[in-house]
Amino acid sequence: MDAAIQAKINIWLSGDFDQATKDEINRLQQDKPDELADAFYRNLEFGTGGLRGLMGVGTNRMNKYTVGMATQGYANYLKQCFGSSAGASAKAEGVRVAIAHDSRNNSRFFAETTANVFAANGVKVFLFEDLRPTPELSFAIRQLKCQGGVVCTASHNPKEYNGYKAYWDDGSQLVPPHDKNVIKEVDKILTVNDVKWTGGEMNITLIGKGMDEAYIRMVKGLSIYPEIIAKRNDLKIVYTPIHGTGIKLVPPVLSAFGFTNVHIVKEQEVPDGNFPTVIYPNPEESETMSLGLKLAEAIDADILCGTDPDADRIAIGVKDSKGKWVLMNGNQTAVLAFNYLIEARKTKGIAGADDMVITTIVTTPMIDAIAARNGVACYRVLTGFKWIAAMIREKENKEKYIIGGEESFGLMIGDQVRDKDGISAVALLCEMAAYEKDKGRSLYEKMTDLYVQYGFYKEQLISITKKGMDGPQQIAAMMETYRNNPPKEINGSPVVMLRDYELQTEKNLLTGEEWKIDMPQSNVMQFVLEDLSCISARPSGTEPKIKFYFSVNGQLNNAAEFEKVNSELGDKIKAIIADMNL
């Protein structure tokens, strides 16, 4: 065992840790020394979004102690910014936070641990009485005028993982300078003895039904065509919460909208942190949505919707032109939602000259094309809904935010929630399905019509995982190679534009002109080809992965050519991947 790792293990064996933790360390030392080394070789990093990792004992795991130390650092920073020592700008009521959790194993325990540490530090805590979706946590922060918040979730990761997302006073995840400042405060918490664990229980208030009702009213207010739903209230909807928190709010939201024919996937209805029917609780995966697809086919549904365990992601399934059930990818879902809101607002006469939409640098350019043709401002930000929220803040009182979204199956409709919201997305997409059905079309046919109208954009994402202690170094080396020796051409098409978001530069390789990218630094590189294809390379911020995003496009003259053009664009992406040796 490495001496530095053993020294950290010895601290846990001799320190103020519970006996069950010490017993588990001794067991691993005897039976699984490599696993123990991985659990202690580093500290679980409090990144710009919070914590995420495997559950278990050790400094590199999600457990009571790593969660408590993170919370102590976050509490210290909130008190610096908003407490009595913050001076005249301090809130009269002191520091307030809201806390929620999903259905994962230990999520309730982590949420209660977080609540107890905040409360022991004199912070007023609003703790949800039971599991709730992440978007409701964001909503609650704004409703309760909190200065911060936490949701305990690992989103769509496998069951062995859990996580801790930190939020600011506008309901969004942390952005500069607060993200780095919180990290500094967390890093100052060197031992578990620096944590105030108990003593403030009177500062904790349980919340639940009242917040649910306020959230449902807010989502209902997003509806644009309630009269269409009244006509098509029997739209046949299949929904799966994939053993997660969506079951708490999706059925009542759909009922509030007026839908009366909702079918829940029974095998995945009950919240369960073991996710017994799936390998990954991720609605992006066709295997995860297979039970929903089976039910949708059996009852001849109009739309299938699924949300991940914390209900911030949304996936939909529809029937294609041959009547076969297919899953839309995240870019297609975003295109449908953006176009619907832009079109519907124009048709209803409620569109304004100051309307704006926001997407991210790795999301389909088709959204830009739709917005441009409709005279709606479209802004691109870094990946992550915290950057969409930051752009809303920047444009507040100058432009009206309508919708934001990204390719990773996330949408954020309206400005009352400042994180991706699978609940309101289900409602909006079901309303859209009802609207198209009223016109005698399916959502698949609508998507095809949009391809004819704006061009056929096809995207694909591949993720390369690098496990083990040297995984991050391998990923860093890949990015360094792209940065120092970028390809001159890919799949026979010259690279004409190189964007490096880490160096904040964009360069035209044909003319040599260079511009500054007016965004925060991010370790992302983009290669734009002469044929307008775009390849993005981006290491994950939460997992040992590097992600490659591919976007190609072509002309679709009519719906009859769909299969042919779709196949050609798919072959083009395969050729690009092969040429890049990925």
Structure tokens at 315: 């996936």
Phi, psi of 360 (to 5 degrees): -120, 170
Q: Which letter, b or e, does each residue of 343-362 get, where b requires 16 or more Cβ atoms within 10 Å of its Cβ?
A: bbbeeeeebeeebbbbbbbb
Q: 170 near 416, Cβ under 8 Å? A: no
Q: Of residues 155, 172, 223, 522, which has the active-site annotation?
A: 155
Structure tokens at 19: 């006996």
Strand 96-101 relative to strand 124-128: parallel, antiparallel, unpaired? parallel
DSSP string, 502-568: TTTEEEETTT--EEE--S---S-EEEEETTS-EEEEEE-SSSSEEEEEEEEEE---SGGGHHHHHHH
Distance CA 25, CA 473 (A): 27
Burial grade of 324 (CB within 10 A; 0-12, 13-18, 19 or more): exposed
Question: How many residues does this entry show for the chain?
Answer: 582
| DSSP-based three-state secondary structure for 403 | strand
Distance CA 362, CA 541 (A): 15
Residues 378, 380, 383, 389, CA torsion sign: negative
Structure tokens at 435: 């609207």
Structure tokens at 307: 């949300």
Q: How many CB atoms lie within 10 A of CB 376?
A: 23
Distance CA 390, CA 396 (A): 10
DSSP alpha helix (H) spans, 268-365? 290-299, 330-348
DSSP string, 56-117: SSSTTSBSHHHHHHHHHHHHHHHHHHHSGGGGGGS-TT--EEEEEE-SSTTHHHHHHHHHHH
Distance CA 414, CA 419 (A): 11
Query: Does residue 14 have an active-site annotation?
Result: no
Nearest to 501 by CA among 531, 538, 534, 471: 538
β-strand partners of 404: 358, 412
Catalytic residues: 155
